[in-house]
Structure 1
């Protein structure tokens, strides 16, 4: 086999004579190079596919890591918020317990009633052991438990407050004692000789003499319904106590309250004087029950509630 080689630079040519074995060897070399090229081309495509797949998986992993980081931040914020809420609820519960114990002591309740120093009584059948192992107490469970406790305490305090309020109102509205801090009965309720005419007359109250300028006090809590000056009474104060009871305090030197005021039991409402139809410093004290004058002496002898 003859092979001609041409030199483009010098324009010459050269021929090489190849034998049978040389041709066979050259053919084998060409086939080998062609096979290697084919195999290289076949391997390049899977490698490019594998590279694209790896890139996609890597992007997905990075995205999942970012999502996980966001979830961790959200969980941390939620945990902090729940922790603060739990601490606030615990503080509220402590204050409620302290207030409950104080109110219980003030109310003078029997031992064991509204006992805020002891945990509430709980009970129930024993749970399944496996269920107990699987049960997980988290912050939300703690918050729910504390919220229930606080609601229970608030209900107890509401009932206790109502009881104290009712007791206080009953004690305030209870007519008892004298309308003066110091003094003596100078004229009782009922028929008497009129000090100005000398004739028999009905006396619808009790006169209590004392020192001019001393306090006249309310025998029960109530609302001031009338004040001012009236013929015979002079300066006077009238109180409504509820349940049909009204008290009147007359011949005052000065009134200390005005209509619409709320007064408590024992509170000064006027200054003793001798205004109106009076012979000297005293308070004319009347008690009305459902519009009818009754003897104040029975209420003056009452003990305080």
Structure 2
């Protein structure tokens, strides 16, 4: 059975949507039809048999590692805090390298101790990219919608452009984009070669009333693309990125407490339905919305 018909090979899952041990997650993702998986540091360090066993399990699965996450609150610190974060970054890069993974995800700082000075932020991102070069790792910088200084992707893009490193690019997460209502027209200024990763998720309500609700929704209530109320916006986003020339990976970044209580194959199948919808319907331009697909069945 050829699972990779159309553009479906461009879509992958993230271990954060699944409960249970790493091996079980890898098996469920592979059996659902995916060829790639996004990993988190805790997948490695939390393995009962240690990091080497986790790396071996990933290699044995045959799944390609989309990326490794997530370095938080890195940029804009000074003194001992900066030194501490450089140390953490080196550790994250080493784990990423051990996986033969070519991409580290970094999200914009939320730290009250971080400077908002543009030059300081640029300098730190450039330094991080320098650390990653010898390991052949790209760094994707993503704007968290509750980031202290950088909370929308145009701001993240501005820093990436100023840092001007070949292995530093942008990470886009649809959740944060919709949460801040950033106009999709802003995508037009991006260089598709410098978009290193696109993470996709939907959620169940249209308006988010506070920053705290935004954080809670992001961490507990996301759903797979096509399962929430933003299907049309997600379809538009993916179509827009494709038209722009983006041909990189899409990863489903779905934090959901309910999915953590469901059998792994069930959750992985839900993700696979999303991949089929986006890969076959959206990217091939027929674009029925998922609820209409379900009605036809």
TM-score by length of 2: 0.19
Pick the structure with more helix per residue.
2
Bigger radius of gyration among the two = 1
Pick the structure with more strand per residue.
1
Higher relative contact order, chain-length normalized (CA < 8 Å, sep 6+): 2
